[in-house]
């Protein structure tokens, strides 16, 4: 089974997993719509990938409804159909809840949750016509709430509920809905992680084996072709998934070290806040 002559939208695809997945799909004969907020990077990626097949680059913020509507309409104007949407746009985040501003909390929920739901809503009629697929890209943080990433976990856990609900509701329209929980994956040098103040920082230097982006991309394609509903990536992810369901106490013990580090960071913030008040 191949993606020959299929039209696929991949949000958040100017770099990283999204771009790699686009490359793999083009090599299988698909037409691909790229999306991202950084116009310069998006256009450069489109130029690079266009040698492999038909590519349309559409800049836009997937948490902004008019941008999403424009993307769907531009896709239909160019290709006349939509066979799949890979909802990959999102913000990576890590910081203590104490340090995280209300504005950052709102942004994470808007981008990571509504930014994945809006493309589905806007593309419903086209997906119904093609009996197409939707793949929501979640995270291991969507399997179990993590200290230092509680709001990020909430935004990713929300995708589970969306997939579970829509897989029942949209099945009557012939639309397949799946969710993938991505683990630690190779990062592009230009990518970063948001902190509680809403600023991008370099990724923490964790001594963990990272999964190749191409492995994730191939798994996404497999989910579309075989209409799979759920996929957990990496051995760590599978272990978390199993323990979270059958031995949550054991999982909490394993994650306790991270919890203590976040708690120590939070104490520093509280102490600084107290000092400022006293002054």
Q: Which of 109, 11, 21, 107 is nearest to 68 (CA)?
A: 11
Active site residue 152: yes
User: Do residues 46 and 240 make contact, with C-beta atoms less than 8 angstroms apart?
Assistant: no
Considering the candidates 79, 93, 118, 152, report the single residue annotated as catalytic.
Answer: 152
- Cα within 13 Å of Cα(132), Cβ side: 22
Count Cα atoms within 13 angstroms, Cβ side, for 83: 17
Residues noted as catalytic = 152
């Amino acid at each position: 089974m191949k993606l020959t002559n299929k039209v696929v939208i991949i949000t958040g695809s100017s770099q990283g997993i999204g771009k790699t997945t686009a490359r793999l799909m083009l090599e299988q004969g698909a037409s691909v719509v790229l999306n991202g907020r950084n116009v310069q990077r998006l256009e450069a990626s489109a130029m690079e990938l266009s040698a492999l097949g038909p590519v349309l680059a559409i800049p836009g913020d997937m948490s902004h409804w008019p941008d999403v509507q424009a993307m769907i309409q531009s896709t239909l104007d160019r290709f006349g159909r939509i066979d799949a949407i890979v909802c990959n746009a999102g913000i990576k985040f890590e910081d203590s809840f104490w340090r995280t501003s209300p504005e950052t909390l709102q942004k994470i929920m808007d981008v990571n949750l509504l930014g994945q739901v809006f493309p589905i809503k806007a593309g419903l009629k086209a997906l119904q016509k093609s009996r197409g697929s939707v793949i929501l890209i979640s995270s291991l943080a969507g399997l179990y709430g993590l200290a230092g990433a509680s709001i990020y976990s909430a935004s990713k856990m929300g995708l589970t509920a969306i997939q579970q609900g829509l897989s029942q509701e949209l099945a009557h329209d012939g639309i397949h809905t799946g969710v993938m929980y991505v683990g630690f994956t190779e990062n592009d040098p230009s990518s970063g992680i948001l902190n509680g103040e809403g600023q991008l920082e370099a990724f923490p230097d964790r001594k963990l084996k990272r999964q190749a982006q191409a492995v994730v991309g191939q798994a996404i394609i497999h989910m579309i072709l075989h209409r799979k509903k759920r996929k957990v990536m990496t051995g760590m992810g599978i272990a978390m998934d199993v323990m979270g369901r059958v031995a949550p106490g054991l999982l909490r013990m394993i994650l306790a070290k991270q919890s203590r580090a976040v708690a120590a960071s939070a104490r520093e913030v509280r102490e600084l806040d107290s000092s400022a008040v006293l002054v």
